[in-house]
Structures are given as C-alpha cells and as structure tokens.
Homo-oligomer: A and B are copies of this chain.
Amino acid sequence: MAQTVEALAEPGRRTRAARSARREGGAKPAGVPYIRRNIPTYDILSEENLLKIEAIADRILAEVGIEFRDDLAALDLWKRAGARVDGVRVTFEPGMLREIVSSAPAQFTQYARNPLHNVEIGGSNVVFSPAYGSPFVMDLDKGRRYGTIEDFRNFIKLAQASPWLHHSGGTICEPVDVPVNKRHLDMVYSHIKYSDRPFMGSVTAEERAEDSIEMARILFGADFIDRHCVILGNVNVNSPLVWDGTMTKSLRAYARANQAAVIVPFILGGAMGPVTNAGAIAQSFAETIAGCALTQLERKGAPVIFGNFLSSMSLRSGSPTFGTPEPAIGSMVVGQLARRLRLPLRCAGNFSNSKLPDGQAMQEGLMSMLSAIHCGANFILHSAGFLDGLLSMSYEKFVMDADLCGALHSYLAGVVVDDNTLAMDAFLQVGPGSHFLGCDHTMRNYQTAFWDSTLSDNEPFEKWSEEGGSTDIATRANRQWKKTLAEYEAPPLDPAVDEALAAYVDGKKKAMPDAWY
C-alpha cells in the first residue's frame, strides 16, 4: 500500500536538471525541490567573538542550567548521559552537549510522497516552507477572522501551486472549526491529500505527534520511515531555559521514529532573554543544543534541525517587533554557530508586524528573509504568508512572498563567471555607442538572465494607470490567489492510501470526545 518512493528517490536530480536547463538557455522549470546556494554565507563575527558567545552558552548550561518539566523519561536520559540533575534542573559540563550532538547528521533527505519533491536539508541547500501557527487568517475582501480547515487547505493548495515553495509546511493556520484534540488528524491528512511535497506533523501532545508519525507510516510504510525522514516536528523551548514536557515528549517521539525535530527557542529580547543580541544568541544556542542533544539520547543518529527565532520589542508599546535589524543581523551569528556544530539550520523567515500586505509588511519581511538567506539557513519556515506579528496568515502576502521566494532563487544563484557570462564576444560584436538588444549573446541568454516577477508592475506609468487600473501589488496578489485556487488541481494519490488514511482519521476521531481548548 505504501508508495515505493525509495527507488525513485534521487536527491537533487531535479535541481541539477533545472540548473542545466537555465545554463542551456531553456525555460525556467515549473518547480524545483530545493535550492543549492551558489553564494557564500555572510559571516559577520570573528572567531574570537564566536568563542566568547560559546563560552557564555557553556556557562549558562553549567551554572544556570535548563529545567525539563513534566518528563521523567527525559530527566532519566540526562542522568544516564552524565548530566547533573537536581529536581527538574539539569546542568551540563562544558563540551558534553557538543559531544552528544555530533552523532546527528549534518544533512539529510526529507522524502515527499512525490519523490521529485524530496528535499535535502543541510549543507548548502535551502528549503522554503510556508508560515506556521497563526490562529487568524486575513484577506483584502473579508479582513481578519479565525482560520478554518478550509483556509488551511487553501494555503496548502497555494503552496502546492507555487514553483518557489519546496515544502507544504505544518500548522499553516489553526483550523479553529475543528476540535483542538482532532485538528492534527485533519491537518496531516490535508497535507497528504492536497500536496505531494514534504510536510510537518503535530507536536502539541505526544499522542498527536504519534498520530502524525503513524499517518506517515500508512503513506510511506513503517519500514521505510524507520530508515528515512518523511515528517518534521517543530518543537519550541519555553524560553528562558525551560523545556516543557509536552515539547520534549513530542521531540522524543519524532526522534524515536527517526524523524526530524526542529528545535526552536523563541526569544523576544528583553522578555524571554536578554535585551542585547550577544546574550540572546548565547541563550538560544544553549537551549537549542540541549534540545538537539536530547534527540540523540532518544535515538542516536536521528535527524534534527538547529532552530532559532530571535525577536525584538517596541520601546513605546512593549509589543514584539518583527523584521527589525537586530534579529536580522543576529541571525548571521546564529548561522555561524550552527555551522560550527555541523547541524542543519532553521533561522529567521518572512516576518512582519504589519496588519496589511503593505510597504511595512514587505520591508520587514524581506529584511528578515534575506537574513535567513545570508545566514545560511537550510530550512526556512515562515517563508510565506506571515503578518500581524505571528497572529495572521494573509492570502495576499502568501502569494507576494511566494513570488519573492522566486526572486531569492535567482539571488542564491549568485554571479556565475564563465566564458558565456563574461560576454567578451558581445563586446567585440557590439562595440561603443551601440546596443546589446539583438546581439547573439543576448539572444542566447535573455530567456534565463533575469528574474521575472508575476506580481510586480514594471510597465510605464501611463500603461499602469490606463490599462492596469493603477493597482498596488496587494490588489494584484488578491486576484492571483483567487485565480490560483480556482485553477488548482490535486496531485494524484493512491486511492488505497487515501482510504486507509481516512479510516485512521475517522477511527481516531470517533474514539475521542471533542475538546475545544
């Protein structure tokens, strides 16, 4: 019943083909499973300063420690690994956690039900995944309201339709019309049904993590997933320096099944961590490495992603701020630290506190998103849709961000230097005072030379105002997401698999009373 994806899986095949097509002057591919960066990471701190931050992280772990609450099995794992456990407080000798996480893979494949959409996570690879976790959705027609399972499916469809997103994501929005204790079943089923890209499961309770993984077993086969990563679980630290049992139990469930946990402290500087970047980064490092290490104690060699979420605060209102310069620049340092551990990195994303898909939204989003690109993030959660400071998924911003992800494909391709791109033949052909519009070199390269947005307006003013209706990009995005949803076609799914999944969901739902909070 499980699809035989292993035989077809060949990571990077499609990317190589895509690059080759571009090099040879062919059209851009309809979709690529992930990107390999052709630009270096942006390393902003010196070795000396990195060592200082690591030393503070070591002191935090040794002198202050981390609390692991409501998870006796986790405390037991720490004891057996040689950490000092005092009640729920665990402290660690310097170097101990580095040693433990060294068994985690530097890079791994997350398999998709369509093997052409397998992604490589780690190394020089970059994977764009939609935003995650908003209770609200918004669009220009209906404004802001609670998300529903229909919204959830819509965003899966929009992601699936985009050539520039590589991943279906996880809790794209909360489907609040489904009982809390049953949402995960409908969410995982929707990812599988409406997308053939890789996806994320639930972490909000151990049994929901187990259900997510079990549904992955139905899709891929139990043997296959015991040996290959097919589902991610995004687990949060309760910063500062607390791991709640809900999260560590889910983290361990994923690791036990050889699936990848994404370990993410959310540090709002001045609240859940120091107000200064260097200290917040040290804390984040300490919290993340402890989570990564716990996955290895649960199952040595399980894939894990070193995650991170730095944020800042408005002095005037005390509100969290997003897409601001301090977290953006701090992310470069987090990237440097993750690479020293040889772990795949999740960092930054497309964040904004704007309530509309306006100039603030795109400026804040891009500042944060480019920091993810520059810091070397391998898995970029929150690549599309995020508005309202984590609280809303915007339909318009989703397609605007997906278009931006397309631009970032060209950005990550860097500056290629070879005989063709150096264009000496063009200079000899054209000479001074002429133009390159029809020369051989231009004809050979123009189709693949420049990123061409489907949402940006590049017409002359008169054409924009007379024929284009003087639209802003949000209005054009509003039209685009509706058109995309209208034209969406579901990727084929083996009916037997579909039936088995539906039966699993039904059975689980019937066995539980509805819980609404």
Contacts and interface: CB of A to CB of B under 8 A. Distances in A.
Nearest to A475: B358
Contacts of A414: 44, 329
Nearest to A65: B432
A240 B436 contact: yes
Contacts of A389: 458
Interface in A32-86: 39-40, 42-45, 49, 52-53, 56, 59-60, 63-67
Nearest to A471: B356
Q: Which 4 pairs of residues, A with B, have the shortest CB-CB distance?
A: A279-B423, A241-B432, A274-B423, A359-B362
A460 interface: yes
Q: Quick one: copies of this chain in the complex?
A: 2
B442 A275 contact: yes
B431 A241 contact: yes
A65 B427 CA distance: 10
A283 B431 CA distance: 11
Given A242-B432, A359-B362, 4 more contacts: A60-B424, A241-B431, A354-B472, A359-B472
B430 A240 contact: yes
Nearest to A404: B363
A370 interface: yes
Nearest to A42: B42
A314 B458 contact: yes
Interface stretch (A172-180, A204-212, A449-457, A507-515): A449-457
24 contacts: A49-B415, A49-B417, A52-B417, A64-B432, A66-B432, A240-B434, A242-B433, A273-B436, A277-B415, A277-B421, A278-B416, A280-B423, A282-B422, A283-B427, A319-B460, A321-B456, A324-B450, A325-B408, A329-B410, A355-B457, A355-B470, A356-B470, A360-B473, A366-B366
A326 interface: yes
Interface stretch (A119-127, A264-272, A496-504): A264-272
B459 A319 contact: yes
B329 A450 contact: no
Contact of A452 (B42, B65, B314): B314
Contact of A321 (B319, B418, B458): B458
A99 B189 CA distance: 68
Given A358-B358, A424-B56, A275 B370 contact: no
Contact of A415 (B278, B317, B447): B278
A353 B49 contact: no
A363 B366 contact: yes
A38 to B, nearest CB: 9
Nearest to A438: B270
Given A357-B359, A410-B325, A415-B330, A428 B275 contact: no
A428 to B, nearest CB: 7
A364 interface: yes
Contacts of A43: 40
